[in-house]
Amino acid sequence: MISVPARPYPYPLDPARTALVVIDMQRDFIEPGGFGDSLGNDVGRLAAIIPTTAALLGLFRAQGWPVIHTREAHRPDLSDCPPSKIRRGNPRLKIGEVGAMGRLLVTGEPGNQIVDALAPIAGELVVDKPGKGMFWSTGLNERLAGLGISHLVFAGVTTEVCVQTSMREANDRGYECLLIEDATESYFPEFKAATIKMIAAQGGIVGWVTPLSELAQAVGAAA
């Protein structure tokens, strides 16, 4: 076991049973002309974590530990997208409509792809999820069980929506969850701050939180 300095107390990382989950680092949320932009958000806030997230990916790849990427993505006929989700938020362009990078949040469209700097490599699992959480209607829990995974390290966007939902889902399924706080971001800084407090509250009711530097140092010291 590797003891990683974290809040609310050190995170016990099991190298043989740990995977990284990078949530929704896709162009539709991070680049101008995508879905996040259509909601009136400053997408530059999310783009700013790309270097740290790339370094986190590099750390896991160097160790040969599993990596999972998720994308919020819907079928071209939108049969897996509730009408209430399409209506919600009053965006300039709705899910499924054509934007600067193709149809928003639709599988296979240019905007639905993970940004180039964080692109999956051979052997890494890519999960298209129709909801906020990474387990609903994806079969991911069974795939993680098949790999013997019990510990999940989280990064990605947005902190208070898809990242937090996925962490809470993982927590309910018995996974030990660690969020890398400088490899996650929100369009709203106060939402990120509140989510981080909620995750680590009451003795880590959802999981642990730490910066990449602490994880990297702990892994390096154990090598």
pTM score of the predicted model: 0.97
Q: With 90 as the cut, is the pLDDT of residue 97 above it? A: yes
37 among known catalytic residues: no
Measured over the CA atoms of residue 193, residue 84, residue 171 and residue 123, the dihedral's sign is negative
- pLDDT of the residue at 8: 98
Average of pLDDT values for 166-192? 98
| Residue % of the chain over a pLDDT of 70 | 100
- pLDDT of the residue at 88: 86
80 among known catalytic residues: no
- pLDDT of the residue at 67: 98
The amino acid at residue 106 is: V
Angle at 133 between CA 128 and CA 135, to 5 degrees: 70
If pLDDT is split at 50, 70 and 90, which confidence band does 5 have? Answer: very high
Find, among 108, 109, 173, the residue nearest to 136 by Cα: 173
Q: With 90 as the cut, is the pLDDT of residue 51 above it? A: yes
Question: What phi and psi, each to the nearest 5 degrees, are found at residue 124?
Answer: -90, 140
- pLDDT of the residue at 59: 98
129 among known catalytic residues: yes
Q: Which of 132, 162, 177, 192 is catalytic?
A: 162
Put residue 199 in one of left, alpha, beta given phi > 0 → left and psi -120 to 50 → alpha: alpha
What digits encode the pLDDT tens for the residues 61-94?
999 999 999 999 999 999 999 999 998 887 888 9
List the structure tokens of 165. Answer: 């939902």
Sheet of strand 208-210, all strands in order from the earlier edge strand to the far edge? 125-129, 67-72, 18-23, 151-157, 176-185, 208-210
Q: Which of 37, 81, 129, 177 is catalytic?
A: 129
What digits encode the pLDDT tens for the residues 201-210?
999 999 999 9
Question: What phi and psi, each to the nearest 5 degrees, are found at residue 111?
Answer: -70, -20
